[in-house]
Structure 1
Amino acid sequence: MKVLEKMNKVELEEKLAQGNYVLFFTAAWCPDCTFIKPAMPELEAEYADYEFFLVDRDDNIELCQDLMIMGIPSFVVYRDGKEAGRFVNKQRKTKQQIQEFLNDIK
């Protein structure tokens, strides 16, 4: 999974202008993020039509604020530069919950 460099919302939308993306918002200190990280390679393989980016909340705090990411781990899907869906809250997420979220986007 690629790591998203530090950027603002305008830069993000330009970077994601074409294609399908899943942004995985996380932080090294977050136990619920650590819980789901082992499942991420499987999710990337299962949803190969999306490019996945890991977004470190601490490196991109302003971006998280602009996108209203108030809890982690969280997931936001972009299609051609526009937000297509979000799974954002402070609760632990399972692989099955993320699959259900991504299936609902398709």
Structure 2
Amino acid sequence: MIKLNNEQDFQELIKEPSIVMYTAGWCPDCHFIAPALPEIEAAHPDYQFVSVDRDEFMDLAVQYDVMGIPSFIAFNEGKETGRFVSRDKKTKEEVNQFIDSL
């Protein structure tokens, strides 16, 4: 997973098929899904996975209307193509289902 370092990189990264995961270090639900992320990534090699710390990049979270974390937003060619955003804990199966539905 690519860890976002600055907002300029974000615009470049989302030009490619991407799954952006909004997260935060203090988020227990983010820690819950973290062990499954390598398997999720391996199951979807057509996407690059990008981790965005919501607290560090609050402007991006506001821009994309992300309030609950973890949240997953799919992008391609700089445009949003799908989202799995809620305040609820997410399972590996739910994340895989979301990506498969794109």
Query: TM-score interval w.r.t. the shorter chain?
Result: over 0.9
| 1:81 CA displacement | 1.0
Q: Which residue of the partner structure matches residue 54 of structure 2?
A: 57
Unaligned runs of 5+ in 1: none
CA RMSD of superposed structures (Å): 1.3
Partner Cα distance (2:6, 2:86) in 1: 22
Between the two proteins, the alignment pairs up a number of residues equal to 102
Q: TM-score, normalised by structure 1?
A: 0.90
* Superimposed CA distance per residue, residues 48-88 of structure 1 (whole angstroms, 9 cap, x where no aligned partner): 10000011111101110111001000000001111000001
Q: TM-score, normalised by structure 2?
A: 0.93
Q: Which residue of the partner structure matches residue 20 of structure 2?
A: 23
- After TM superposition, the runs of 4+ consecutive aligned structure 1 residues lying more than 4 A away are none
Seq. identity, %:
42
Amino acid at match of 2:37: M
1:48 aligns with 2:45: yes
Is the partner of 2:22 in helix, strand or coil? strand
| 1:13 CA displacement | 3.4
Partner Cα distance (1:68, 1:35) in 2: 22
Partner Cα distance (1:83, 1:32) in 2: 23
1:98 aligns with 2:79: no
Unaligned runs of 5+ in 2: none
Amino acid at match of 1:89: S
The answer on whether the counterparts of 1:71 and 1:89 sit within 8 Å (CA) in structure 2 is: yes
Q: 1:55 to 1:13 in 2, by over 3 A?
A: same
Partner Cα distance (2:11, 2:64) in 1: 11
Superposed, 1:5-16 pairs within 5 Å as 5-7=5-7, 12-16=10-14
The answer on whether the counterparts of 1:71 and 1:88 sit within 8 Å (CA) in structure 2 is: yes
